[in-house]
């Protein structure tokens, strides 16, 4: 678990709030239409989508939007979940994952680190943080964090095991360079659901 002085923790909290506020601004200024099929409904109006999202848990809505590849709208749903549930590890991990899919690595990293500060046993946040580290070209640290996630899950997650195998292969590839490591879609994001860790499938994942 990450520690620090009271002033450092306050500074981190203020920084996190700024990151979330920035994320919400990006999401609210998106020009995309809400994909109602991602919410499990047929074609309807934008107003109908708003009514549906108000009645459903923000995390659930966000996960469905992520699966549809609507990352800006997923970020908006996750931000609503933060307002409803508070900044727990689950919400912070979801916010970080959406930012990762949007290519905002700095914001994703801060949010996922905050998630593991909240709960240093939260497997999805560790796994998804490792994907950010890999995207930054920090392969050895990504490997260490994938190993941590895999150990915390007692080796039960096929997705995390696959991620660990991939990162080891990258490190051992003598022709590998940081420049060709800008695709985070080759790794599997995970989330928590129904008491276990689930694949957070996204539209452009392999």
Please count the structural domains in the chain: 1
Q: Which of 98, 91, 151 is nearest to 121 (CA)?
A: 151
Q: Per-residue pLDDT tens for 20-58? A: 555 554 444 443 433 333 333 334 444 444 444 444 688
- Count Cβ neighbours within 10 Å for each residue of 181-192 and write b for 16 or more, e otherwise: beebebbbbbbb
Q: Per-residue pLDDT tens for 122-164? A: 999 999 999 999 999 999 999 999 999 999 988 888 889 999 9
Structural domain includes residue 111: yes
Domain of residue 155, CATH code:
1.25.40.10
Structural domain includes residue 77: yes
Which domain covers residue 97, as residue numbers? Answer: 6-199
Structural domain includes residue 177: yes
Structural domain includes residue 189: yes
Q: Per-residue pLDDT tens for 170-201? A: 998 855 555 555 555 678 777 664 444 454 54
Residues 6+ apart with CB under 8 A from 161: 150, 155
């Amino acid at each position: 678990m990450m520690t620090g002085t009271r002033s450092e923790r306050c500074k981190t909290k203020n920084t996190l709030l700024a990151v979330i506020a920035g994320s919400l601004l990006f999401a609210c200024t998106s020009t995309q239409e809400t994909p109602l099929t991602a919410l499990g409904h047929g074609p309807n109006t934008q107003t109908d989508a708003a009514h549906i999202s108000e009645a459903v848990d923000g995390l659930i809505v966000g996960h469905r939007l992520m699966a549809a590849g609507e990352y800006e709208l997923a970020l908006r749903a996750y931000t609503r979940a933060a307002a409803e549930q508070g900044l727990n590890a689950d919400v912070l991990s979801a916010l970080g994952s959406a930012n990762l899919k949007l290519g905002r690595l700095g914001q994703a990293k801060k949010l996922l680190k905050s998630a593991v500060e909240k709960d240093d046993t939260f497997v999805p946040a560790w796994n998804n943080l490792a994907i950010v580290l890999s995207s930054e070209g920090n392969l050895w640290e990504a490997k260490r964090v994938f190993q941590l996630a895999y150990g915390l899950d007692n080796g039960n997650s096929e997705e995390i095991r696959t991620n660990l195998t991939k990162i080891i292969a990258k490190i051992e590839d003598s022709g590998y360079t940081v420049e060709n490591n800008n695709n985070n879609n080759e790794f599997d994001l995970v989330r928590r659901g129904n008491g276990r860790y689930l694949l957070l499938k996204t539209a452009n994942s392999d």
